[in-house]
Structure 1
Amino acid sequence: MDIVSFLIGMSWMSAFVALLLAFFLLTVETNNKISNRLFAAYLLLFAIDNSGLFINENFIKEHLNLEFFRWTTSSLILPVFYLYIVSVCFTDFRLSPKYLLHLAPFIAENLIFAFRLYFVDDVEKMKFYDHHNQMPEFYSLLSIGAIQVVFYSIAVFSVLRKYRAIYQENYTNPRTSIYKWLIQISTVLFTLYYLSIAKNGLRYADFELLWIWANVVLQFLLLVIICWFVLKALNHPELFRGIDSKLQLARDILPKETSIAEVKNNKSEAITLQISALKDYMAEKEPFLDPSLTIQELSNQINIPVRDLSVLINHHIDQHFFDFVNEYRIQKAMNILKDQSKSQLTVLEILYEVGFNSKSSFNTSFKKYTNLTPTAYRNAS
């Protein structure tokens, strides 16, 4: 089998898997309908874009307008991926008219093609197709694609940074894996997209064989990543439960004329009493034993407005809510591990008892506070 045939076979396989997974996501019963549909759309657009490597040349020449339109659909891939990331991060995500702005490049490209290609005679279309690599319209497609990679990589990681900040200030450990997973997949995918930009440069260099091999490698890697992505979603549905995007960060709650440094330095007697009351409540009532504890729930229990409690913890105590709660969990776990009468309890039983529901997050938090694993700490006690 020659390298071109191998590339065609890989592209067929990639498109087939993408379409199969898209069909599954569109038909499976789930509460994450918007996220699943957006990811299915991403897979469908990927398959359409990928089909250019194996579509029969005669079919293309008989349906040139369809081929030109297929080129423009590539400008929808990253916007859909961005919306998918937003929908996974935030439970209150809804598709709304403001997201139509993401269609601007796609609409602009089709308007250009309407005047330049769609309505010209077949001879002109064929002439354009045969020399499309040298045509300014095709350059513009590649340029828009490159700009989108840069723009949406910044946008996606900005969303993930916002998600992480809101999560740390309002939630505790059970859903931190969402951030880790999305940051991994986004990093890998955008690395491939940047490599794809470099690969497109080979199109205009005298390295045809290298360009074909670059396509083969990228095809294989993208196929592996898509399968990894969906298998992860199927095996770990808990990764795809979001948070409320309307929650504010503590720094945004403060009056604009008040700096964070001023808040930290201005610990009045009332603030000191509030901190003392909060710590006493945490020690006596142990609300941290609830693995799904949020700052809103703690606010209701201790009768401090959630905005004041957020500023109290994040600025006056100078800890994220996430770290503040987990510190109490770790302290309780340390006491249990040192208690000889509870030596029969396994580490797994202890982590559930103190409010964690993930062994990995428990081990990470425990080592952060003690520099030891739970087992090593128990053996050293």
Structure 2
Amino acid sequence: MIILSLSSFPDFNIYSTPLLILVFQGLVFVGLLFNRYFKNRNIADLFLALILLLICYEQICYTVGFMGWYNVFKNTKINYFLIPMGMTIAPLIYFYIKSITTSNFKFRKKDWWHFLPIFLFISFKFFIYCYDSLQPNFSEIQNGVLRLSVDEAVVSPIYNFVSFAQMLLYLAFTFQLFYNYRKRITAYFSNTYKLELNWILSFLIVFTALFLYDSSQSVIGLLITDLNYKQRWWLNIFMALIVLFVGMKGYFTDTSKLNKISFKFSPNPEIIPQISEEKKTVSNEEVEKVANYMELKKPYLNPDLNLSDLAELLEMNRAQLSQVINAGFNKNFNDFINEFRVNVFIEKLKIGEHKQLSLLGIAYDCGFNSKATFNRVFKKITKTSPSQYLDTMST
């Protein structure tokens, strides 16, 4: 509970004003995300809007405290409704990332079980409020008997510990989900830059940093010294800034790229360097068929080429083609296609096309669709940058 030495509410001071401005801006993005969800029905917008809304709810509780609410309205019953939202935010973060990285994602009935702990806690808070409100002189005090003897003394410490463990677990699962997605797209798409979702990685990093900061502050307050409201203000201002950052990036970044793409098969995203049982099931005819088609038809020049497109061109199914590429060429789909592109790029350098076009222009002609992907792939294959490679050709 925050108690300020103020005589009136609201008090706009150096602590309350920045929080008030940032929380208001955060709520603007909550409204924008909700509005877009109801228009387009992209469930990722709903999850992000709920994440930001719950954080803003916690921020509002602190903001009105810094504005003097708890000093002026000493008998307010707001303590019964100050509910830490970690248990809700943790699964929402997981489902937000899952809704973006899973094609045709659907929220199932059984997914509601992830939110059972917070529903139970809210029910408990409602119960103790109802009980305490029936006790004598409840209107004259701030906290009733169950609020002090059960909630504050027993349940809240347990809740905080469980919430910490839950957030840690969900963040681990979410990072695993994201990196598995990164592996899967290399097995399906030839150009992955626009699908790598670097913004999502930033999203996870800032929330992890916020979680670690909050956890360290709790440990300090519990084991070393009690932190006063001004010292805890920094966590709240960082949280408010993160809400603004996440709101802006989440709203202005297209995260619906996979909504209408289906790649629900299980290609092996790892390159298998040894001869395996899988390789024995791939015939030489299949390998030659793929190699000849690549040489003659040059489908890799299409920057939007994916595994499904190539499988259709070769009159094969996706799983079969993925197996041929993985086992027959010891590459995943992304490396397989981009190696052809790099080889064509090198051939164009040899015939002097760089005298008429920029290196990036040549790369686009070879099937790349971004400078970042081209530079990364070229260096991975040749162990040098495109400009350095060109210099070695000139010497």
Alignment-derived partner of residue 24 in structure 1: 32
In structure 1, distance between residues paired with 2:191 and 2:228 = 47
Deviates more, 1:5-14 or 1:78-87: 5-14
In structure 1, distance between residues paired with 2:253 and 2:375 = 19
Q: What letter matches 1:321 in structure 2?
A: F
In structure 2, distance between residues paired with 1:264 and 1:126 = 67
CA deviation profile, 1:341-360 (whole Å, cap 9, x unmatched): 45211123222211111111
Q: TM-score scaled by structure 2?
A: 0.82
Query: Which of these residues, 67, 70, 78, is aligned with residue 57 of structure 1?
Result: 70
Contact 2:30 2:247 in 1 (8 A): no
In structure 1, distance between residues paired with 2:40 and 2:296 = 38
Distance 1:248 1:7, change over 3 A: farther
Percent pairwise identity:
20
- SS of the equivalent of 2:310 reads helix
Query: Which of these residues, 365, 372, 389, is aligned with residue 353 of structure 1?
Result: 365
Structure 2 residue 257 is the aligned partner of structure 1 residue 241: yes
Query: Which of these residues, 22, 25, 36, is aligned with residue 45 of structure 2?
Result: 36
In structure 2, distance between residues paired with 1:275 and 1:346 = 35
Unaligned runs of 5+ in 2: 6-11
Distance 1:265 1:321, change over 3 A: closer
Deviation, 1:287, is: 0.9
Structure 2 residue 23 is the aligned partner of structure 1 residue 15: yes
Unaligned runs of 5+ in 1: 253-259
- SS of the equivalent of 2:304 reads coil
Distance 1:227 1:211, change over 3 A: same
Contact 1:160 1:179 in 2 (8 A): no
Structure 2 residue 357 is the aligned partner of structure 1 residue 338: no
In structure 2, distance between residues paired with 1:266 and 1:286 = 27
In structure 1, distance between residues paired with 2:132 and 2:60 = 25
- SS of the equivalent of 2:305 reads coil
- SS of the equivalent of 1:120 reads helix
- SS of the equivalent of 1:95 reads coil
Distance 1:157 1:67, change over 3 A: same
Distance 1:111 1:223, change over 3 A: closer
Deviates more, 1:165-174 or 1:317-326: 165-174
Alignment-derived partner of residue 176 in structure 2: 158
Q: TM-score scaled by structure 1?
A: 0.84
In structure 2, distance between residues paired with 1:130 and 1:153 = 32
RMSD: 3.1
- SS of the equivalent of 1:119 reads helix
Alignment-derived partner of residue 187 in structure 1: 205
Q: What letter matches 2:96 in structure 1?
A: Y
Alignment-derived partner of residue 341 in structure 2: 329
Q: What letter matches 2:349 in structure 1?
A: L
Distance 1:153 1:59, change over 3 A: farther
Alignment-derived partner of residue 8 in structure 2: none
Distance 1:20 1:67, change over 3 A: farther
Q: What letter matches 2:157 in structure 1?
A: Y
Contact 1:170 1:322 in 2 (8 A): yes
In structure 1, distance between residues paired with 2:326 and 2:87 = 41
Equivalent pairs counted in the alignment come to 367
Contact 2:221 2:227 in 1 (8 A): no
Alignment-derived partner of residue 232 in structure 1: 249
Q: What letter matches 2:246 in structure 1?
A: F
Distance 1:134 1:287, change over 3 A: same
- Tell me which protein shows more helix as a share of its residues: 1
Deviation, 1:67, is: 4.1
Query: Which of these residues, 159, 176, 185, is aligned with residue 167 of structure 1?
Result: 185
